[in-house]
Amino acid sequence: MRRKIWFPLVFIVLVAVGGLGATLISGNSPELGLDLQGGVSVVLEPTSDASGDALGQAVDIIRDRVDALGVAEPEITRQGDAIVVQLPGVKNRDRALELVGQTAELRFRPVLQDLTGSEVAPPDESESTTTTTAEGAATTTTTAGGSTTTTTAADDAAAGLPLGESAGAAQEPTTTTTAPPPTTTTAPGAPAEGAPVPLTSRQDDTADATVTLPGKDDEGVFQLGPTLATGQIVSSARAEIPQGQWLVALSMKGGADGIDTFNEIAAQCNPPSAVCPTGRLAIVLDSVVQSAPTINEPSYSKDDITISGSFGEDEAKDLALVLRYGSLPVELERQSVQTVSASLGEDSLRAGIIAGLVGLGLVALYMLIYYRALGLVMIVGVGISGALLFAIVSWMGETRGLALTLAGVTGIIVSIGVTVDSYVVFFERLKDEVKAGRTLRTSTERAFKRAFRTILAANISSFLGAAILWWLTVGSVRGFAFFLGLSTVLDVIVAWLFTRPVVMLLSRNRFFTDMPGFGVARGLASGQPAARQTAPAPGAGR
């Protein structure tokens, strides 16, 4: 019997103290959500129905992109159909937003005409029937052709023009020795036409349409043919600087879904054909031409494709990123953006913690006054719950990237109330039993059994609520639900492993039961020392 009491008690105390100790020693602390430390949160949703697999893949790709940005501890999760990207403490916010936002399909389109320099009319986004125009011009101008053309691009390079550069170059060190050195080609802008060229709106930018799209940073305008391939054919891409000049080295996937497709395109562009009259292949992402290099070879080997030109380091790296991760299997749309400055986050955290501590203090005081020594049991019990919670949250922050958000902090504060409720239920039941004339000792076990039923029922319904919230909602509601649910589970565990044995032990100790003014008996309003039989209640009021 004794062992039965002591074992769970020692166990839970050891676990709590051990967990807390290990957490503190290893320097872990709960990972703060971005509303507590500042940062950006973006919610993305597919524009059309997407399979779970596709979304999962999209999450992976976005994660890679964000990782490549060097954001510390980003959190990218799928919540239902939505993808939530949290970038706590991100430095270069706009760049991050832009990269995360670039979620559309990466498309390779032939350049029909380089309209750079032409006057441009912005697309009329409201009219989805806007048709792509200037088709007549499709076959007229060919500005850059030839397989090994080299034109100067110095001017463009100086201007940092990201799309004037370009050139595909193939080096096949093992097979042929005829590979030309990387070359630079610049397609000078097509002569301006009289009327402004209308740009294709985003919703009209479908894969099979002929479109007119702007270059990156609004530099240049291109008329492009139907999509020849998507980013799926790319297996990897990286920025390199082999000879003092940044370039992007590409690898294609093997087989029909990779290099074969690419070579078909290359054959059409070199020499230029009707499909690809300019010999240039545009890399289009999100209705923006990222780059439009000239294809210099009719055929490439899959690991030996480079795009060179007047790249700066950032441009080369961005292009590599886009090529590597540009192609998401679904089109995503930014649904919500939230940015929180670091100072605001800190203030909220401090306020939340202090409010929580004050609340806890008040509850403790109330319980002490009301239940006397049993109030102490509650305080220690809540302390144990707290230690376990802290250890679990820290641990999950470390291993699962679980972040403590303001909603989570609120969930925890709210759960103080729920946790204490369980003690109240137990102590009131104990009071009933003692009033019924039982000794405190005999009452404890009975009272706990009955009270535990109530606690369990109530906690199960709370947990049910938390679980449903977690399942069916997104964003901050989820964080809240998680912490509420976690505290519910801890509440039941602590009630069984800690409260029960402790109260049983205390009830056997006369020092605690009979201590004048503070003893358990006093707290339970049994008019006389608990060990003695008593009448239900002392009579005579004031």
Contact positions with another protein (CB under 8 A) in 339-378: 339-341, 343-344, 347-348, 350-352, 354-356, 358-360, 362-363, 366-367, 369-370
Q: Using CA atoms, how far apart are residues 487 and 484, in angstroms rounded to an integer?
A: 5
Nearer to another protein, 142 or 385 (CB): 385
Distances 196 to 110, 121, 122, 189, 224 between C-alpha atoms, Å? 22, 6, 9, 15, 17
Token pair for 162: 């990201």
Q: Which of 190, 194, 195, 196 is nearest to 122 (CA)?
A: 196
Window 29-88: residues binding another protein (CB under 8 A): 35, 43, 45, 80
**Between 91 and 400, CB nearer to another protein:** 91
In the bound state with another protein, the residue whose beta carbon lies nearer, of 14 and 537, is: 537
- Rounded to a whole number of angstroms, the minimum distance from the CB of residue 178 to another protein is 45
What is the SS3 assignment for 164? coil
The least CB distance from residue 81 to another protein, in Å, is 9
Pattern of binders to another protein over 235-264, x per CB under 8 A?
Answer: ------------------------------
Q: Give the contact letters, 482-501, x = binds to another protein (CB under 8 A), - = no.
A: --x-----------------
529 part of the interface to another protein, by CB under 8 A: yes
Tokens 């100072």, residue?
A: 343
x/- mask, another protein, residues 391-410, rule CB under 8 A, reads ---------------xx--x
- Give min distance, CB of 141 to another protein, in A: 30
The tokens describing 491, both together, are 């509440």
CB of 114 to another protein, least distance (A): 23
303 versus 333: smaller Cβ distance to another protein: 333
* Phi-psi map region of 467: left, alpha, beta (phi>0 left; psi -120 to 50 alpha): alpha
Beta carbon nearer to another protein, 98 or 124: 98
Three-state secondary structure along 267-316?
HHHCCECCCCCCCEEEEEECCEEEECCECCCCCCCCCCEEEEEEECHHHH
Between 4 and 510, name the residue whose CB sits nearer to another protein: 510
Q: Count the residues of the shown chain that bind another protein, applying the rule CB under 8 A.
A: 106
Q: Which amino acid is at 513?
A: T
The whole-angstrom separation of Cα 21 and Cα 44 is 39
Residue 403's beta-bridge partner residues? 31
Rank residues 176 and 461 by Cβ distance to another protein and give the closer one: 461
248/530 with CB nearer another protein: 530
Please answer whether residues 80 and 304 qualify as being in contact, where contact means their C-beta atoms are separated by less than 8 angstroms.
no
Using CB under 8 A as the binding rule, the residues of this chain from 422 to 481 that contact another protein are: 424-425, 428-429, 431-433, 435-439, 442, 446, 450, 453-454, 457-458, 460-462, 464-466, 468-469, 471-477, 480
Beta bridge partners of 307: 168, 248
Nearer CB in complex with another protein: 219/428: 428
Nearer to another protein, 26 or 47 (CB): 47
DSSP secondary structure letter of residue 401: -
User: Min. distance of Cβ 382 from another protein in angstroms?
Assistant: 11
Owner of token pair 């193939």? 170
Residue 293 near residue 166 (C-beta atoms within 8 A): yes
Which letter, b or e, does each residue of 47-75 get, where b requires 16 or more Cβ atoms within 10 Å of its Cβ? eeebeeeebebbbebbbebbeebebebbb
Which parts of 8-27 interact with another protein (CB under 8 A)? Answer: none
Residue 274 vs 537, nearer CB to another protein: 537
Choose which of 221, 305, 404, 413 interacts with another protein (CB under 8 A).
Answer: 413
Tell me which of 27, 173, 194, 541 binds another protein, using CB under 8 A: 541
- Which ranges in 401-475 belong to alpha helices (H)? 406-435, 440-472
Nearer to another protein, 196 or 417 (CB): 417
- In the complex, what is the shortest distance from the CB of residue 21 to another protein, in angstroms, rounded to a whole number? 27
> Segment 87-116, which members bind another protein (CB under 8 A)?
91-94, 97-98, 101
Q: Tokens representing 130?
A: 């806007």
Pairing of strands 31-32, 403-404: parallel
CB of 464 to another protein, least distance (A): 6
Q: Which of 420, 490, 494, 495 binds another protein (CB under 8 A)?
A: 420
Kindly identify the residues of this chain, within the stretch 118-137, that bind another protein according to CB under 8 A.
125
Q: Map the footprint of another protein across residues 132-161, applying CB under 8 A.
A: none
Task: Classify residue 138 by burial, with Cβ atoms within 10 Å: 0-12, 13-18, 19+.
Answer: middle
Site string for another protein, 276-315 (x = CB under 8 A): ----------------------------------------
Neighbour tally for 167: CB within 10 Å:
26
Angle between helices 500-508 and 373-400 (to 10 degrees): 150
224 vs 406, which CB is nearer to another protein? 406
Q: Binding to another protein (CB under 8 A): which residues in 169-228? A: none
* Phi–psi pair at 534, nearest 5 degrees: -135, 160
Amino acid at 391: A
Residue of 475, 512, 160 lying closest to 314 (CA atoms): 160
Q: Which region among 10-18, 298-306, 393-401, 522-530 touches another protein (by CB under 8 A)?
A: 522-530
Which amino acid is it at 93?
A: R
- Residues between 320 and 339 with contacts to another protein, criterion CB under 8 A: 333-339
Helices (H) and strands (E) in the chain, counts: 15, 18
